[in-house]
Amino acid sequence: MFELSRIENRKEYYKYETFYLEGMFYRNFIPAIKKFPNRRVLLMHGSFHNGNYWVSTPDNRKGWAILLAKQGYEVLVPDMPGYGKSIEIKSQLSGELIVEYMTKLLESKPSSKWTVFSHSISGPYGWKLVDIHSQIIENLIAISPGQMGNIQNIPEANNDQISVKIKMGNNEFEVKKSNPAGDNLIKNWFIGQSTQFPDDIDALTRYQQRYLSPTPKELLLERLNYRGSQLKVENGENLSTNILLVGPGHDLNYPLEYYNKLKAFWDDKNTNCQILWLPDQKITGNGHMAMIEKNNQQILAKILTLAEM
């Protein structure tokens, strides 16, 4: 059974470098000893955030990028176009553009086999990546992922030229040019009913200062499937990629029925897909930001065991 190594965080265990790829900022963690020289990991962040939450947690523990590098994997962590340090992208922002940039990252390491992690808004980017690059993506780990446009409902919307008000279920979003994460979004979605979120005052301050980044209007409208704009899976038949859907359990916007719907989509296409519903593994109390919560190491260990990495 997989276990994360219990070693001290000393720099000789991995090298950390930063780069810009045509305006997109990304972090590259290179292990001192590459146990898996041709297997690499790409970590894609969610909306209202940047890539920092893959690197550390608000209560100053190691993030998944470092834990994976210590295990011998080379890890790439971008700030996706439009977020964080990648706000100077000159092209029109869209999910299709982000997939193009993620493709450039994958192709920057020739002859690699990839495990791709998607989360929230990057869920559809992950679906699209495996749709077109299944031959180089061994595993897709989708954590609280957004749906593909094939099955996502088109919401009610009212456009007043300044903002777009979109109603989805019991929630209403007012989408403007720039959309920072407000207190209500942090409290009711990112923390929500989680009992594992590091919620002392200092941790919350670090969370807001280090990890949050506004979501551009174009990307948020697409995430909400405004006018049917969400990315769609065009093929998806008999893909060689193994898909693991990770459900935290206390993320109220992503109940078990939601994951069953996603699994049914891939089952219909004869693509291997399984659900990791954390409460079934006696991993409880997790919300939307499971990768930075108090038991993040336990969750990663379970993911890597099931993904057979």
> Which CA distances in Å does 295 have to 53, 107, 124, 229, 299?
14, 33, 26, 36, 7
Low-confidence ranges of the chain (pLDDT < 70): 1-12, 168-170
DSSP state at residue 280: G
Predicted local confidence at residue 99, as pLDDT: 98
Instruction: Report which residue type is found at 135.
Output: Q
pTM as predicted:
0.94
- CATH superfamily of domain region 11-228+236-307: Alpha/Beta hydrolase fold, catalytic domain (3.40.50.1820)
Predicted local confidence at residue 109, as pLDDT: 95
Predicted local confidence at residue 161, as pLDDT: 72
Contact of 125 with 44, CB cutoff 8 Å: yes
Q: How far apart are CA 68 and CA 74, in angstroms?
A: 8
Domain extents for the chain? Answer: 11-228+236-307
Predicted local confidence at residue 172, as pLDDT: 78
Q: Of 267, 240, 270, 245, which is closest to residue 258 (Cα–Cα)?
A: 245
- pLDDT by residue (tens digit) across 119-150? 999 999 999 999 999 999 999 999 999 999 99
